[in-house]
């Protein structure tokens, strides 16, 4: 796919501040405004930049409780459309299919223990048995940019 160092710098800058103007971005990577503009548009078209989002403080929004829920289907032989069936539950922020004992790992945001209890009941009824729920106490950091450094793609 060939993403150059300049593109990595652009991606890093837009990860840190997704609303940075093309003018500032240009100054940061040492290019003209329209040159970065073209590169950003190309990164968007190629899907390297999949979009932009606001970072939300969910505590301030009344959803102070974050948890991870590991699940596995009740019937392992049944067609596994759990992600789709769970997608209606708005409390679920992300859904990963994982290797290991569990099938899926969900990250959820709720208003408190009672809402978590309700959610767990819904998850059970929709997509199998909940296996393990891990409560998040605090989040030292989140959404950092894990970008490529010197060691690059060697090792695959």
**67 within 8 A of 116, measured Cβ to Cβ:** yes
Write the DSSP symbol of residue 40.
Answer: H
22 binds, among DNA, a second copy, none (CB under 5 to 8 A by kind): DNA
Does 42 interact with a second copy (rule: CB under 8 A)?
no
Q: State the angle between helix axes of 22-29 and 33-45 in degrees (0 to 180), rounded to the nearest 10.
A: 100
The distance of closest approach from Cβ of residue 151 to a second copy in the complex, given in angstroms and rounded to an integer, is 7
Binding segment for DNA (CB under 7 A), chosen from 37-45, 59-67, 116-124, 134-142, is 37-45
**106 within 8 A of 88, measured Cβ to Cβ:** no
Closest by CA to 119, choosing from 140, 88, 141, is 88
Does 17 interact with DNA (rule: CB under 7 A)?
no
121 binds, among a second copy, DNA, none (CB under 5 to 8 A by kind): none
Residue 101, φ and ψ in degrees, nearest 5: -65, -35
Specify the residue, 16 or 74, whose C-beta has the smaller distance to a second copy: 16
Grouping H, G, I as helix, E, B as strand and the rest as coil, residue 122 is helix
55: exposed, middle or buried (Cβ count in 10 Å: 0-12, 13-18, 19+)? exposed
Residue 144, φ and ψ in degrees, nearest 5: -75, 170
127 binds, among DNA, a second copy, none (CB under 5 to 8 A by kind): none
Question: Which positions from 77 to 96 touch a second copy by CB under 8 A, shown as an x/- string?
Answer: ------xx--x--xxxxxxx
Residue among 12, 13, 28, 37 that touches DNA (CB under 7 A): 37
Residue among 5, 75, 79, 138 that touches a second copy (CB under 8 A): 138
Does 13 interact with DNA (rule: CB under 7 A)?
no
Does 33 interact with DNA (rule: CB under 7 A)?
yes
């Amino acid at each position: 796919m060939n993403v150059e160092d300049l593109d990595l710098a652009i991606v890093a800058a837009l990860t840190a501040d997704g609303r940075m103007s093309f003018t500032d971005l240009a100054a940061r990577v040492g290019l003209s405004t329209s040159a970065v503009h073209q590169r950003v548009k190309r990164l968007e078209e190629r899907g390297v930049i999949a979009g932009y989002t606001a970072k939300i403080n969910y505590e301030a929004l009344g959803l102070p409780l974050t948890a991870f829920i590991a699940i596995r289907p009740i019937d392992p032989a049944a067609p596994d459309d759990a992600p789709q069936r769970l997608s209606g539950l708005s409390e679920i922020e992300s859904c990963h299919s994982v290797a290991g004992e569990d099938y899926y790992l969900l990250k959820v945001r709720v208003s408190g223990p009672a809402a978590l209890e309700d959610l767990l009941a819904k998850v059970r009824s929709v997509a199998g048995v909940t296996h393990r729920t891990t409560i998040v106490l605090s989040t030292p950091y989140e959404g950092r940019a894990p970008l490529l450094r010197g060691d690059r793609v060697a090792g695959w």
